[in-house]
Structures are given as C-alpha cells and as structure tokens.
Amino acid sequence: MRDQVREKIAGEICLSDEPGKTIRKWREQFSISQQELSRHLGVSPSVISDYEAGRRKSPGIVTVRKIVDAFLDIDEKTGGAILKQYSLASKTDSIISIKEFAKEVVASDLVHKIDGENLTPAIPLDKHIHGYTVIDSVRAITSLSSFDYLKIYGWSSQRALVFTGVRFGRSPMIAIRAHPLKPAMVVYQKPEQVDELAIRLAELENIPLIRTTLAIGDLVDELQSLG
C-alpha cells in the first residue's frame, strides 16, 4: 500500500505543470508544516518555501521521492491516517466519478466551470478544493453503509460532493450534518427544487450549497478538466 501511494503522489508531482503547488497541496493534505518537513529532510524551511512558490528550480525525481517519503514517514509516525484513508478510497456503486486534483482549485472557479448557482450567497467561495466525488444520491441512501460513507471523501474531505437524483436536498445535508467529516462544498445536480431546510443546514455548517443544471455527462467532463 505504501508503494502505491508513494508512486501516485510522486507521479502527480512530476507530471504537474506547477510541481511546487502540487507539493504544497500534498503537504497540506498530510497536515505537515513546512518546518516539520524541512526538519525531516535536513534542509532549511526556506528551501521548501522556495520549491512551493516556484522560486527554486523544480525538484528532480530523486528529490521528489525524498519529499514523498518524508510525507509517508511522518504520517506513519502519527498513526498512518492518510495511508488508512487511501485503503478506504475504493469506488462503490453509488460513486459515479471521483478525482483528486493535481493542484487545488478555488471554489469560485469550480462553481463557474459547472455553471453553478450559489444558494448560500453569505458563504464566500474562497475555499481551496482538492477533489470531487459525484454521488448517485438514491443509491447512496439505499445502499451506502457507514463504512462505505468514508469512501466518498477519497483522499481529502476538502472536496466538492456532487449529488445527482436529488429531489429536495434534505437527505444529503442531514447526512452531512450528522457525520463528523464535512466536505468543502456540496453541489446538487438538477434538483427538482431545494428545500429551505437543506439551505439552512448548509449555512449552519458553513458549507457552500451549489445548484447546477448541467447534464451528468457534461458535469463530469467539466469537473474532470479541473485541477
């Protein structure tokens, strides 16, 4: 499992147009500070800062592997939460599409990309989104176990959860309200209408609630093109 995670992250960094930003995304995903990473690597914190800001030449594969190994070593010392999360991230029948972005996407850019309407205008769209999951809400309600529920969050809860087959939008928000893991954004794809309770719950959780009228195929295509 460690080798699979290692190759995934290293490949994503090396193939990224902006490897520094991708390093920062994964460092934040592992909840590791620049100082902690620099101590583990035996370098100055300014070296990490320069890589992430693009002020220093992009690291070669050897350096990338050292950075990724540092992420995993630090994670394992604190219980291996990210590695465990990876083992939970296999797809279920209720998940239509799932992706981790190579680099973070600002929430407002995602909303614009999917022609979304913000139903909670008081909540700013300035969060960084690390990925998305498109969920068949009917299948999720009828078949998703509490264990499977964790899988919709993939590698990070800092993601957009997109629900299809929504009638009034109460059930998804009630489930989110009841669970300790919270997404960065919730999107309803072609809801019949959105109940005021769903909007109120989103406001209480400080989660932007977005409505889009894109067809599911078009919606997935637009999401896939991000990050």
Same domain, yes or no: 11 and 70: yes
Q: Mean pLDDT across the stretch 10-35?
A: 89
Q: How deeply is 146 buried, as exposed, middle or buried, from its count of CB atoms within 10 A (0-12, 13-18, 19+)?
A: exposed
Query: Do residues 97 and 224 touch, judged by C-beta distance below 8 A?
Result: yes
Of 40, 61, 85, which closes a domain?
85
For residue 143, what are its two tokens? 């078949």
Q: Are residues 57 and 96 in the same domain?
A: no
Q: pLDDT, tens digit, for every residue of 59-117?
A: 888 899 999 999 999 999 988 887 777 655 555 678 888 888 888 899 999 999 999 99
Cα 92 to Cα 75, 83, 161, distances in angstroms: 26, 19, 15
Contacts 24+ apart (CB under 8 A), 122-126: 122/203, 123/202, 123/203, 123/206, 123/207, 123/208, 125/208
- Residue of 146 and 201 predicted with greater confidence: 201
- The total of structural domains in the chain comes to 2
pLDDT at 142: 63
**Which pTM was predicted?**
0.63
**117-150 pLDDT per residue, tens:** 999 999 999 999 999 999 988 777 666 665 566 6
pLDDT at site 145? 61
Could you tell me if 67 and 114 lie in one domain? no
The answer on 161 and 57 residing in a single domain is no
Give residue 215's pLDDT: 95
The length of the chain, given as a count of residues: 227
Q: Where among 59, 85, 111 does a domain terminate?
A: 85
Owning domain of residue 14 = 2-85
| Across 18-47, average pLDDT | 93
Query: 196 and 145 in one domain?
Result: yes
* Identity at 93, one-letter amino acid code: D
Are 12 and 109 within one domain? no
